[in-house]
Amino acid sequence: MTDQTTDLERSGVTDKSSDAPATAPATAFASATPAEHELIVRDRRFDRTAMVPRHWHSGDPVATAWYNSVSASLPRGEAFFIDTLRDFREGLPPKLAREVKAFTTQEINHTREHVAFNRLVSDHGYNVESIDQGIQAMLELTEGRPKEFNLAITIALEHFAAIISRQPLAKPEYLDGADPVAADIWRWHATEEIEHKGLVYDIWLHATRDWSAWKRYKTRALVAALITKKYFGNRIRDAIGLLEQDGFTHKQAKRKLYAFLWWKPGMMRRMFFEWATILTPGFHPWKHDDRALIGKTESPYSDAVMPAE
């Protein structure tokens, strides 16, 4: 990260002086979010007493380790997103202001449920605290940076969240054999991640409306590439760490995890090109309209919004 942030500094992205008025024509605030799209808070509380087994995903330690690694990273990451948006509340158009409130409540609820889920993982003897500390260390590197830098990080991680969330909703077999309570948590979370996927980007468009198109593109694309690489690399590292706690050697764990992610079922292989859209100049999360997936959850509220495919 140190080398990467140095790269950013060299590029001028994190230099506060680069926030001076842009010389190129400003890009207007134009969002691809569907005008009628609204965020709905589904305040779900999952059964804390349910016996989620140690290898809750189909008895497979590898699949379980991957999801557990992601889950352990969420509470601190989502708190960072909420804190970041707090800095941009002033002067928002009414629809965005309303959505920031809904987004914040959604993320608070996700955190609450994942804290409970992580406790179950921990009760099975896994050390997940070190994963949380790793996220904290990564986010500490953002301290003192321009608030737009943190917003660009949030765009990148919310994009990753939306793309990874799309997978189990579009292909329910990704959760085949998973413990029903655990699978329900992931589907619920995935639904709301898709639903609010455009908000942070819209805040960005509004907050940087006086920037040149080039500065906007350069900042968000560079930050997206670097932070996603860092975050994804750490998810792999931590999943391998969890597998080592299951008794696998580092080499075995790495081989099995890579096969799971890139080959069978190969979620990362499938989502790579979807993720890479963030590097294109005309990117907006809602240029891929997957609202139909929102209706696939069991919530009566979401069913009312969008019928299932």
Residues in touch with Fe ion (CB under 5 A) = 107, 110, 193
Which residue from 201, 98, 117 is spatially nearest to 157, judged by alpha carbons?
Answer: 201
**Closest by Cα among 91, 237, 231 to 163:** 231
Write down the least CB distance from residue 254 to Fe ion, Å.
28
Q: Scan for tokens 């989620």, then name that residue.
A: 52
From the CB of 245, what's the least distance to Fe ion, in Å? Answer: 25
Nearer to Fe ion, 99 or 193 (CB): 193
Residue number of the CB atom closest to Fe ion = 110
Q: Are 222 and 11 in contact (CB under 8 A)?
A: yes
- Judged by beta carbon, residue 107 or residue 148, the one nearer Fe ion is 107
User: Minimum distance from CB of 20 to Fe ion (Å)?
Assistant: 31
Nearer to Fe ion (CB atom), residue 136 or residue 249: 136
Quickly list DSSP for 150-168. HHHHHHHHHHHHHHHHHHH
Q: CA quadruple 168, 236, 160, 98: dihedral positive or negative? A: positive
Q: Exposed, middle or buried: residue 274 (CB in 10 Å: 0-12, 13-18, 19+)? A: middle
Judging by beta carbons within 10 Å of its beta carbon (0-12, 13-18, 19+), is residue 123 exposed, middle or buried? exposed
Question: Do 117 and 186 meet the contact criterion of CB atoms below 8 Å apart?
Answer: no
Least distance between Fe ion and beta carbon 193 (Å): 5
| CA distance linking residue 46 with residue 259, whole number of Å | 31
CB of 264 to Fe ion, least distance (A): 27
For residues 110 and 187, which CB has a smaller minimum distance to Fe ion in the complex?
A: 110
Taking the complex as a whole, the smallest distance from the CB of residue 154 to Fe ion amounts, in Å, to: 9
Our CB check for Fe ion shows the closer of 14 and 111 to be 111
Q: Which is nearer to Fe ion, 162 or 261 (CB)?
A: 162
- What is the closest distance, in whole angstroms, from the C-beta atom of residue 87 to Fe ion in the complex? 17
C-alpha distance from residue 249 to each of 245, 253, 255, 302 (Å): 9, 6, 10, 44
Strand partners, 6: none
Closer by beta carbon to Fe ion, 186 or else 248: 186
The secondary structure of the chain in percent helix, strand, coil, rounded to multiples of 5, reads 70, 0, 30
Token pair recorded at residue 151: 């917003």
